[in-house]
Structure 1
Amino acid sequence: MSTDILIDVDNVSRSFGHRDVVRDVSFTVVKGEVLGFLGPNGAGKTTTMRILTGTLAPSRGQVRVGGIDMLQHPTQAKAQLGYLPETPPLNRDLTVDEFLDFCARLRRLPRRQVRPAREQAKARCGLHDVGRRLIGNLSKGFQQRIGIAQAIIHNPPVVILDEPTVGLDPIQIQEIRALIRELGQAHSVILSTHILSEVQAICSHVQIIRRGELVLKAGIDELATHLHGAHLQVAFRRPPPAETLAQMDGVATLHPQGDGRWLVHFDGDTDPTDALVRAAAAGDWGLYELTRPRLSLEDVFLELAGDVPADAPEHAA
């Protein structure tokens, strides 16, 4: 395995009863990569994150962190990770310095390294002036920073952040995003989030999970054009019934835009452009727009993630 690969997930599956929540998931994260991990509720994202952090064992497959097998050597593998759950694991009755010293000792840092590690984490997270203040008296933005500081205090090669900007105001969000970008220069970062603009602002790669299976992993620059060649934006003054468009050769799905406009997703091997033009002329549909749009990350996410059943159990995914 390449020394640049810090997380290696190989055919991981997880079942709850007879239901596979995660199915044959495989991916790698390399040094310096900031991976945005996306998925709708019930898609298997949280289960995958729990498997990565060693809090849930896979039913099948293997996870290696820094080349260390998570099941065979969990203590050594977890030492390669820093983790910020959605709710930061903070003790509100301690000062920032006391809490970070406690976290450093939990990470088994030698006594002589505790203070330097704490001061370095504070400096990186903008906490230098609040070391002696009680955590419970600080704002949500500072508490998120403390959560990130405890995740990096042992300088792990991999940092996993779960919804790190939830509940923050716009200024705090910008500050945390800048911090995550800085972390990405020295660590591999996995960012789990529902905020698509956050992925575009921070991440170098994006991964989407749907119904327990990965449907995309791509560089952030690839996403805007990922489905570019497989969509048409059409508009008619006298639009035909949706069924007529849906039955045309090559048309996979239709997304109504209102006022006679449709976003047409077609199979990559069958471009319906010529057929649409001929049908519009023959049917007097009043075709006045036919373009290939550049899709946003939200469009890509909706197209690939799709819908998950409303009864998908939250605890299982």
Structure 2
Amino acid sequence: MSILVEGVTKLYGNQKALNNISFKVDKPEIVGFLGPNGAGKSTMMKILTTYLSANEGVAIVNGYDVTTHKQKVQQSVGYLPEHNPLYLEMYAKEYLAFNAQIYKVNKTRIQEVIELTGLTEEAHKKIGQLSKGYRQRVGLANALLHNPDVLILDEPTTGLDPNQLVEIRNLIKTIGKTKTVFLSTHIMQEVEAMCDRVIIINKGEIVADKKLNQLRESKEQTVIVEFDYRVENAFLLKLPKVEKVVNTYDFVYEITFLTSEDMRSHVFDFAHDNKLKILQLNQKNASLETLFRDLTSN
């Protein structure tokens, strides 16, 4: 077991940031820690990485108690904080070499993480010259330098453009094949794309802990489609097994179906029969969004 949390409570004055939190994470597993802003995600991660101490409860990472074996925890965890502090005046490779000395790892490891995170072409540039996406890669490379068994990533995709999102997402999925990845986010699409499991926290309490494949077994699905011009909702409601249609903006529609069958082919046939062009056609896990809204709306 990579992470074990039992009865953890954290107080800031009289306010409970975490209230009797318990969960466990195995290896290899990518777990999304999902919740609205202020729910307690970052606080939990700082406890797991020994930056904060809990008022009550036990947290164990890689077999080490975060209170009594802080250095052992730090040696076995790779951490990417939300705001990814970097020395912008340093070159990317220079920064990694500096941290490699701190971790006392072999210099060959520097090139390994550069290649793993796709930094080869940017390694000789100053960090301040890099895009947000490549700075995130530098942060991930640094977190991986000492080859930790557990990666803890706090909002790793915040502020990235769509192309950067895909690149970082694929990188995390690759890392998650051999390591435990515990990542926080409030973006449900990122959880769906990367994670094996989701833990939802609200107001300092765990309100759901589910495998993503359990959520995908739901018979409700939503298809997002963008046509080249406007279509009346009434026409889309004639599609089989439709529950509702929402025109979200311009020519983009969210169509909810009550079936586990992939309905994108039906939407495609509808467009073809009506001489419409499809500009985008995606499926999203409506059950995860519905679950999140239901559990965090109050």
Q: Which residue of 2 aligns with 1:119?
A: 111
Residue 210 of structure 1 contacts residue 306 of structure 1 at CA under 8 Å; is this kept in 2?
no
Measured in 2, the distance between the counterparts of 1:19 and 1:130 equals: 44
SS across alignment from 2:158: coil
- 1:57-101 per-residue CA deviation (whole Å, 9 max, x = no partner) reads 000011111101110110011111101111112111111111001
Residue 79 of structure 1 contacts residue 156 of structure 1 at CA under 8 Å; is this kept in 2?
yes
Measured in 1, the distance between the counterparts of 2:219 and 2:38 equals: 24
- Give the deviation of 1:42 after TM superposition: 2.3
Measured in 2, the distance between the counterparts of 1:48 and 1:225 equals: 29
Q: Which residue of 2 aligns with 1:186?
A: 178
- Check if 1:27 corresponds to 2:23: yes
Q: Which residue of 1 aligns with 2:66?
A: 70
- Check if 1:15 corresponds to 2:11: yes
With 148-157 and 128-137 compared, the bigger mean Cα shift is at 128-137
Question: What letter is aligned with 2:19?
Answer: R
- Check if 1:99 corresponds to 2:99: no
TM-score, structure 2 as length reference: 0.76
Measured in 1, the distance between the counterparts of 2:116 and 2:75 equals: 20
Measured in 2, the distance between the counterparts of 1:63 and 1:226 equals: 33
SS across alignment from 2:160: coil
What aligned pairs does 1:25-174 form with structure 2 within 5 A after superposition?
Answer: 25-109=21-105, 113=106, 115-174=107-166
SS across alignment from 1:90: coil
SS across alignment from 1:189: strand
Q: Cα distance 1:63–1:227, how it changes in 2: closer, same or farther (>3 A)? A: farther
Measured in 1, the distance between the counterparts of 2:131 and 2:193 equals: 24
Question: What letter is aligned with 2:16?
Answer: D
Measured in 2, the distance between the counterparts of 1:227 and 1:304 equals: 20
Measured in 2, the distance between the counterparts of 1:78 and 1:223 equals: 34
Question: What letter is aligned with 2:11?
Answer: S
- Give the deviation of 1:190 after TM superposition: 0.8
- Give the deviation of 1:186 after TM superposition: 1.6
Measured in 2, the distance between the counterparts of 1:226 and 1:59 equals: 39
Q: Which residue of 2 aligns with 1:261?
A: none
Q: Cα distance 1:50–1:226, how it changes in 2: closer, same or farther (>3 A)? A: farther
Q: Which residue of 2 aligns with 1:208?
A: 200
Measured in 1, the distance between the counterparts of 2:41 and 2:149 equals: 22
Q: Percent identity?
A: 41
Residue 18 of structure 2 contacts residue 44 of structure 2 at CA under 8 Å; is this kept in 1?
yes
TM-score, structure 1 as length reference: 0.71
Residue 209 of structure 1 contacts residue 215 of structure 1 at CA under 8 Å; is this kept in 2?
yes
Match of 2:288 among 289, 292, 297: 297
Give the alignment's Cα RMSD to 1 decimal. Answer: 2.0
Larger radius of gyration: 1
Residue 225 of structure 1 contacts residue 295 of structure 1 at CA under 8 Å; is this kept in 2?
no
Residue 218 of structure 2 contacts residue 287 of structure 2 at CA under 8 Å; is this kept in 1?
no
- Number of aligned residue pairs: 238
Question: What letter is aligned with 1:122?
Answer: I
Structure 1's unaligned 5+ residue stretches are 229-256, 259-293, 308-317
